[in-house]
Amino acid sequence: MNGKELYTTNQQTELAFLVGVEIKGDNAMMPLEDSLDELAFLALTAGLKVVGSESQSISSINPSTYIGKGKTQEIKLLAESLHADIILFDAELSPRNFRDLEEELGKSMRVLDRTTLILDIFGQHAQTSEGKLQVELAQYEYLLPRLTKAWSHLARQAGGGAGRTGNVGGVGLRGPGETQLEVDKRHIRSKISRLKEDLEKVRQHRLRYRKNRKTSNIPIVAMVGYTNAGKSTLHNALTESNVLIADKLFATLDPTTRRLNLPSGNNVLFTDTVGFIQKLPTHLIAAFRATLEEVTEADLLLHIVDINHQNAVAHFRSVVETLKEIGADSIPTVTVLNKIDDTDELPEIINAFPFFKEGIPISALKKIGLKDLLDEIDENLFSTFVEISVRIPYKNGQLISQFHQFGQIRRIEHGVGSVLIEGKIPGRLLADFTRFKSIK
């Protein structure tokens, strides 16, 4: 990929030159060239024009310029010959990396990294007040230790009515002096504190909302998957809704929930969530805590995989790792193999990777296999019963009612202050009863 043009478009005004780095011995999620292609797609989504790229294999990260001064100068000459405005790294750079790279590259080019780009895309795509708060917090937390003259790009979508010429939440970012930097940093720390307070209010509101949903006894199904795997298309196909669909990464950020009637007549709440990606910035995971709790509180996850993508396995593993990171890896999960209409190699793919063998093949776009998927959801939520013996205090009357409504009672014995119930309950409700298990 060295020096070649990846994507071209006449609509972009800022030109980006990509830099990919392979660290020897590092177990990367996907090959370097594919990761650079993904970075180019991210850049395109952010509104940049990618004019070229360069890659390098190194034994360890250079603490100063990440890639070493010699390679930095080589990239500078290549990027200048292509009139690039931005040098975009497929990695997360440290504050020192930014500072030293800016000194080496000069004033004519800005340095961005993968995390900055993703934050910028999230900023462009956040629609609700909650989404904007979450993105703004992540941007400020990432910006604070890296605050230098080069950070005017964050002004595009950061809160406070920022314009593209360099004003994040009222903080001027183009060429401030040292004293001004300290003023800006204090301002940003104050802003971060206020954003966290606002988001905690949002989180508490979501908690109350989820409690109300729980009392309705309608199970929650949340879709997860790599960005652009087809979650929104599937959500629309199953619920006849109109979630935005676009051939862009992170086209939708805010979770959308709709009621869905299953073939059995049972109802579920069906939620479309933000797409995951390799090297997902930790700042985003932290900032999107309230939204990601929609995943951790679900009764069942649908892991949507674009089975036709050349990196389907890497995407699958990346999502599994992210689910583990947010504490959702213990939730029952159905793997959904999407976009089967685009491939003739489905049997070979499934046979090559055992974790796909239990997957449900579908085409969300062509509405192929959707009944099998709905039957699988029905089976997981309403047909799998677990044997349990619980002693429930009368003050937890809601749980007693749940057992009567959804469970199969074999024995019931009323005592002083509590009731002993033995029988079976749907697996999706097990977590609610675990703390009341009776020890015989």
Confidence class for position 169, pLDDT limits 50, 70, 90: very low
Closest CA to 328 of 337, 315, 319: 319
Q: How do residues 56-73 score in pLDDT, each as one tens digit?
A: 888 899 999 999 999 999
Contacts of 35 by beta carbon, 8 Å cutoff, 6+ apart: 20, 28, 29, 90, 278
Residues in contact with 320: Cβ distance below 8 Å, sequence separation at least 6, in sequence order: 303, 329
CA distance 424 to 328: 24
Which structure tokens are listed for 10?
Answer: 């006449």
Beta bridge partners of 159: none
In this structure, what token pair is assigned to residue 251?
């086209």
Gap between the Cα atoms of 88 and 174, Å rounded = 19
HSE-up of 78 (CA within 13 Å, CB side)? 20
Q: Give the pLDDT band (50/70/90) at residue 258.
A: confident
Residues 6+ apart with CB under 8 A from 47: 12, 14, 124
Above 50 in pLDDT, residue 362? Answer: yes
| Residue 100 amino acid letter | D
Q: How far is CA 113 from the centre of its chain?
A: 18
Q: Is the pLDDT of residue 12 over 90?
A: no
Decide: helix, strand or coil at residue 206.
helix
Residue 157 pLDDT > 50, yes or no?
A: no
- Per DSSP, 148 falls in state S
Q: Is 378 exposed, middle or buried (0-12, 13-18, 19+ CB in 10 A)?
A: middle
8 Å CB contact between 372 and 380: no
- H/E stretch holding 79 reads helix 69-81
Coil, strand, or helix at residue 22?
strand
Q: Say what the pTM is.
A: 0.75
For the cut 60, the answer to whether the pLDDT of residue 124 exceeds it is yes
Q: Taking Cα atoms as reference points, which of 57, 59, 48 lies closest to residue 16?
A: 48
Q: How many CB atoms sit inside 10 A of residue 294's CB?
A: 22
Place of tokens 């999620």: 29
Give the C-alpha separation, 363 to 234, whole Å. Answer: 8
Report pLDDT digits (tens) over 384-426.
Answer: 778 899 999 999 998 998 888 778 788 999 999 999 999 888 8
Buried b (16+ CB within 10 A) or exposed e, 170-184: ebebeebeeeeeeeb
User: Distances from the Cα of 44 to the Cαs of 66, 79, 218, 348, in angstroms?
Assistant: 24, 18, 40, 32
Q: Minimum mean pLDDT among 67-76, 153-162, 236-245, 315-324: which range?
A: 153-162
Torsion sign, CA atoms 244, 250, 252, 257: positive
The per-residue pLDDT for 174 is: 33
